[in-house]
Structure 1
């Protein structure tokens, strides 16, 4: 076994603060949950941790027969006994009925992550809003569902004032995003608003998770957007609006989703970001950890010199989760990308 492969095998396991004694890990024994968009980056880790905690998981994907996108799920520990794949389409009403029937809870992660679109209504807004409502409509008529955990984004909690401390009471301005043609942010805002409204009107216990830019080891064989940001930084490319980027480990985000389902008092929104890490910190650490892989772009570095806005994560910490050190997150990200041949 090569050193890289050995490292990847080690990091593809949850970090020490997530691993518990086996007896305590089986908190989901006897419970059935559904994870939508299960082949995605965050969702794959949610499925992994759910299986480790003893849950039976019903995972929806667009095509269960597409082994390129589902093989990593079927190879997870516990998958052969407690994981079943279901075909579902965000735009097809009733498409999630079979997967959700009899479930105790639902983790709705499925939503497009696109930043260059030609038809934002069709490519982003409709799947985000209508897809979320389709899932919630099924939950509303499924009496066994006790709680729904929705994956939103800090794109719906944005701020333009570096002096404002962002917490769960802060909401992004959808009309401004519409005017600025920030379609992804707009889709997340209106989808979250529609979900909260529908849940309130239909008596659904809904908890919303708002992660920032998620990094950490990848399980899926395709490079996703948030980890792609790290690859771009290594290649000397700096994302637009780097001032707004805040980071968090995918394993922490996934555990937070599960805790939001398990902890009876969990409610409302949860901002999931490391409050002390900015894009400039990430750039500096990448060059310290992997200097041989990083390009130098002195002109672009000036774009990272601004101070980022402040974030309050007291509510996140109330779930009993510790942040994975960002240095570990970055190291694990790059090692997994090497093993998956996703460094481009």
Structure 2
């Protein structure tokens, strides 16, 4: 796998995680094709054009996950793809199977079909801890690693549509790669926090902002498994560049957590201290007026 060069595509380039991936790629000498629903929307995408090296090495494409031809145009000529885009419902939707699950699965398969057509070297697909941890049959106390998958029927029964969508999309991605000779690596980050590059507040940042503001009268006493968005970006690049990267990776920044990122750390991934992530997040939120 050639490092620090070439053309790669990032889907959903304007999002929280994807923006940091684009930034890191540009800083490491890559030329980037970024897909967006509407590249002309400066209110959502201006931050991408301000990134270092963006004027020379960033090209934005109008694309929709359910429009194969638009994805194929963006991925054509790329050596690698980072599939980051995925629907995250802000609230309950009338038809979750059609509005959440189907776009996640069909969108992922469209991306991978375009990858196969373009003969990319590797596709890195971002999944979620939600595809790992929703499994009531997993032995209590046993660390959840890459062998643990969320129970699809259980997710459907409890109407946890996001978890179902990520579980189905990830399993379909790995299956597609195996059947079509496409090198696919999936990564399952936990709750992602950190300073934002984009102007609109994303779902995981809202979780932390609400905790800091005391937005709810009561808060459930539970553990939040957290990872810094900048560490997620570095993990994705590492997984793209390392030929030996395995097919599925769980990403969490706590060695003692019941979720394990041992495989990723063995590849050389290192994460920043939780205190640093929280401090940088809070400082950004304060400067942006999000805690008022």
Q: Which has the larger radius of gyration?
A: 1
Cα distance in 2 for partners of 1:239, 1:88 equals 41
Partner of 1:57: 32
Cα offset for 1:37?
Answer: 0.3
Aligned to 1:260: 239
Q: Secondary structure at the match of 2:204?
A: helix
Change (3 A) 1:188 1:244: farther
Runs of at least 5 residues in structure 1 that lack an aligned partner in the other structure: 1-25, 278-308
Alpha-carbon distance change, 225 to 162 in structure 1, aligned in 2, over 3 angstroms = farther
- Alignment partner, residue 280 of structure 1: none
Name the residue aligned to 1:137. 113
Normalized against structure 1, the TM-score is what? 0.79
Shift of the alpha carbon at 1:241? 6.9
User: Which residue in 2 is equivalent to 1:313?
Assistant: 261
Q: CA deviation at 1:92?
A: 1.3
CA change 1:267–1:242 in 2 (3 A) is: farther
Q: Is 1:176 the equivalent of 2:164?
A: no
1:141 alignment partner, SS class: helix
Residue in 2 aligned with 1:322? 270
> Where do residues 165-204 of structure 1 align in structure 2 (5 Å cutoff)?
165-204=143-182
Partner of 1:338: 286
Q: Secondary structure at the match of 1:86?
A: strand
Supply the distance in 2 between the matched residues of 1:319 and 1:217 (Cα, whole angstroms).
25
The residue number in structure 1 matching 2:15 is 40
Q: Deviations over 1:49-95 (max 9, x none)?
A: 00000000000000000011111111000101100100000111222
Shift, 1:275, TM fit: 2.3
- Deviation for aligned residue 1:115: 5.1
SS in 2 for 1:96: helix
Deviates more, 1:229-238 or 1:89-98: 229-238
CA contact (8 A) 2:90 2:203 kept: no
Paired positions, count? 286
Tell me, which stretches of 5 or more residues in structure 2 are unaligned? none
Match of 1:97?
Answer: 72
User: In the alignment, which residue of structure 1 is the partner of 2:250?
Assistant: 271
SS of aligned partner of 1:37? coil
Superposition map of 1:206-217 within 5 A: 206-217=184-195
Which of 123, 147, 150 is equivalent to 2:99? 123
SS of structure 2 residue aligned to 1:84: strand
Give 3-state SS (helix, strand or coil) of 2:92's partner.
coil
Whether contact under 8 Å (1:104, 1:147) holds in the other structure is yes
